[in-house]
């Protein structure tokens, strides 16, 4: 998977912006910073699926690190007035933004190092 340096920088800056905006929105609509701190890394539990192999691991990781579920949860919480659902969705979006800013993208079934942001790890 080949991603040019310029594209990678843009995608990582997008992730940073999503993180910053999520923090600002959470400050307004969230349910306290303790909940945020406790749940921020929760999507990374999907990494445990890699014990079942790279294909299952990538599918689980991508499900937990795609904006689709997170934004559906935010929308559900916002439209139905569910403050907990809204807070959880914002935390989830913030986590994804953080990961993208750090260069961790959606995974390929080829292995954990292969992402839509390019290779991660020492052999980049």
List, in order, residues 6 or more apart from 117 with CB less than 8 Å away.
Answer: 3, 8, 11, 12, 100, 103, 104, 105
Distance, CA of 114 to CA of 28 (rounded, Å)? 36
Q: How far apart are CA 25 and CA 94, in angstroms?
A: 10
Q: Please indicate, yes or no, if residue 82 is contained in any of the structural domains.
A: yes
Please compute the mean of the pLDDT values over residues 6-13 and round it to a whole number.
90
| 62 within domain boundaries | yes
What's the pLDDT band for 113 if we cut at 50, 70, 90? confident
**How far is the C-alpha of 7 from the C-alpha of 22, rounded, in Å?**
22
Tens of pLDDT, residue by residue over 29-59, are 999 999 999 999 999 999 999 999 999 999 9
Structure tokens belonging to residue 46 = 């999907």
- Residue 67, in any domain of the structure: yes
Does the residue 51 lie in any domain? yes
Does 124 fall in a domain? no
Q: What is the pLDDT of residue 1?
A: 47
Domain of residue 27, residue span:
5-119
Q: How many domains does the chain contain in total? A: 1
- Summarised one tens digit per residue, pLDDT across range 114-124 is 777 777 765 54
Report the alpha-carbon distance of residue 108 to residue 114 in Å, rounded. 5
Q: Which two tokens stand for residue 73?
A: 């949860």
């Amino acid at each position: 998977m080949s991603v040019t340096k310029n594209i990678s920088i843009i995608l990582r800056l997008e992730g940073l912006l999503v993180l910053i905006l999520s923090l600002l929105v959470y400050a307004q609509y969230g349910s306290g910073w303790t909940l945020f701190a406790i749940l921020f890394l929760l999507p990374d539990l999907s990494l445990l699926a890699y014990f079942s192999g790279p294909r299952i691991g990538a599918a689980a990781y991508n499900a937990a690190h795609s904006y689709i579920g997170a934004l559906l949860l935010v929308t559900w919480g916002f439209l139905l007035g569910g403050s907990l659902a809204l807070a959880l969705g914002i935390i989830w979006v913030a986590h994804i933004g953080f990961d993208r800013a750090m260069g961790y993208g959606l995974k390929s079934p080829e292995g954990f190092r292969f992402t839509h942001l390019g290779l991660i790890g020492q052999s980049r």
